[in-house]
C-alpha cells in the first residue's frame, strides 16, 4: 500500500489552484483561518510567495489574504487542474 504525502499551501506554485482538505491547527488558529474563508472544501489560488520566508498571498473568491508560512504549512490541500 502506497503512503500519500499531504500537500500544504507551502507546496503550491504561484498561479496554482487547490481545494482545502483539512486544517491542522488548534482551536484558536482554526477559528482565525475559518474567519478568513480557509475552510475544508474552499478553493484557493496562490497569487505570490514573498521571499526570505515571508508570507504567501492567496486569493479566495474575490478576496486576497496574506498568510504566514507557518500557518500555511498547516493547511492541507489537493491541487486542482
75-80/63-67 β-pairing: unpaired
Give the pTM: 0.84
pLDDT at 5: 65
CATH of 9-80, one of 3.20.20.140, 3.40.50.10540, 2.30.30.90, 2.60.40.4070: 2.30.30.90
Give the per-residue pLDDT at 81: 74
Q: pLDDT band at 4, cuts 50/70/90?
A: low
Looking at the predicted structure, is the pLDDT value of residue 2 above 60? no
59-79: pLDDT as tens digits: 999 999 999 999 999 999 999
Q: Which of 72, 65, 62, 52 lies closest to 12, judged by CA?
A: 72
**Quick one: CA dihedral 40, 44, 49, 50, positive or negative?**
negative
Q: Please tell me the distance from the alpha carbon of residue 14 to that of residue 22, in angstroms, as a whole number.
A: 21
Contacts of 67 (CB under 8 A, 6+ apart): 9, 36, 38, 55, 56, 57, 58, 75
pLDDT digits (tens, 9 = 90+) for 16-48: 999 999 998 888 888 888 888 999 999 999 999
Amino acid at each position: 500500500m502506497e503512503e500519500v504525502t499531504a500537500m500544504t499551501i507551502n507546496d503550491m506554485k504561484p498561479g496554482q489552484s487547490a481545494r482545502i482538505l483539512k486544517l491542522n491547527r488548534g482551536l484558536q488558529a482554526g477559528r482565525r483561518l475559518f474567519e478568513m474563508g480557509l475552510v475544508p472544501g474552499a478553493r484557493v489560488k496562490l497569487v505570490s510567495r514573498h521571499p526570505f520566508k515571508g508570507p504567501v498571498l492567496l486569493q479566495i473568491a474575490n478576496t486576497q489574504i496574506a498568510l504566514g508560512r507557518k500557518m500555511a504549512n498547516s493547511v492541507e490541500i489537493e491541487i486542482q487542474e
